[in-house]
Structure 1
């Protein structure tokens, strides 16, 4: 049992590293819009292993941004919101992991796809909320086109989130259609 837990968290560490590598691929337009490719492996991991391991892996991904020097830190509060809470929140994508696993095992593929889409929205929406908050309180002074901080954060963080969700769903559905068993971890008997 202890070895299995260790394996799950080592797998989560690996997925956080993969997410970090994908984060280095430039997908942004300006400083306020980007597609977060790292969301793909983290959402996959959270669906595969569940919410708690997903939260752990998301937390590591946020910390890796700081360690790698790719984080934009204005102050300790913004760091805490954007690089610990927001990145950790992507783990909420594991909310329906058991339902997805059960649906796959019972060959209810349409139900599994539905939960896969819903849970991708849950994790991304949770992360978006915290980036939205940070955008209002910390990045509002950088608002373009004379937008107020709330509208600026809503539009730019919202556009980034919706784009990220779309890309993540497409990739995960393609993986799911090809090999749904990848979404169920093998367990030792």
Structure 2
């Protein structure tokens, strides 16, 4: 198989894995981390932004196919299921320095680079959720709470929980099996 075809197949597999992990039940309603973010960041660091963005798009589109879309307006769906999920592929911007660190067995630099990639991807994704929260979900805020504060608290907690989950996962993966996981053959 060609390298391009391998990368496309991997993009679909990682998106499917992210979707499967999305079915882990919420343990604290809206404040649950996004478990699917882990394979998306791993894949983006493995294959770069082009394929990372594609995998994020596939993950977002799978929500439609599997009926996991909360629809208020077309623009809300576009923001929360296309832009937000595609944003996870932004971690791939760091794939070259990350892979250079992996090849040179510089674990510290690889972990720092993966942390920066995660911060970018998760930060941008939850920015989109925050924006949608202010614009579309603000009417669901408890009485007396502003839409801004409501969205910041809900999406901020979920975003931080997701970031912590991704950072811990990456630290473990980079320390244990970096060559096999992050360097395509």
Q: TM-score, normalised by structure 2?
A: 0.96
The answer to whether the 8 A contact 2:107-2:174 is kept is no
Counterparts in 2 of 1:33-44, with a 5 A limit? Answer: 33-44=31-42
1:116 positional shift: 0.7
1:145 positional shift: 5.2
Question: Which 4+ residue blocks in structure 1 deviate beyond 6 angstroms?
Answer: none
Aligned to 1:177: 175
Backbone CA RMSD of aligned residues: 1.2
How many residues of Structure 1 are paired with residues of Structure 2 in the alignment?
Answer: 184
Looking at structure 1, the residues matched to 64 and 142 of structure 2 have their Cα atoms a distance apart, in angstroms, of 26
Counterparts in 2 of 1:1-189, with a 5 A limit? Answer: 3-30=2-29, 32-144=30-142, 146-181=144-179, 182-186=181-185
Looking at structure 1, the residues matched to 131 and 151 of structure 2 have their Cα atoms a distance apart, in angstroms, of 8
Looking at structure 2, the residues matched to 99 and 76 of structure 1 have their Cα atoms a distance apart, in angstroms, of 38
Please list the CA deviations of residues 1-35 of structure 1 after superposition, one character each: whole Å capped at 9, or x if unmatched: x82112101100000000000000013423x3221
User: Where do 5+ consecutive residues of structure 1 fail to align?
Assistant: none
Looking at structure 1, the residues matched to 174 and 144 of structure 2 have their Cα atoms a distance apart, in angstroms, of 43
1:52 positional shift: 1.1
Looking at structure 2, the residues matched to 80 and 146 of structure 1 have their Cα atoms a distance apart, in angstroms, of 29
Looking at structure 1, the residues matched to 89 and 143 of structure 2 have their Cα atoms a distance apart, in angstroms, of 34
Looking at structure 2, the residues matched to 178 and 55 of structure 1 have their Cα atoms a distance apart, in angstroms, of 26
Q: TM-score, normalised by structure 1?
A: 0.94
User: Where do 5+ consecutive residues of structure 2 fail to align?
Assistant: none
1:146 positional shift: 2.5
1:183 positional shift: 1.1
The answer to whether the 8 A contact 1:86-1:130 is kept is yes
Please list the CA deviations of residues 110-151 of structure 1 after superposition, one character each: whole Å capped at 9, or x if unmatched: 111100111111100010111011000010001125311111
Between Structure 1 and Structure 2, the one with more helix by share is: 2
The answer to whether the 8 A contact 1:27-1:36 is kept is no
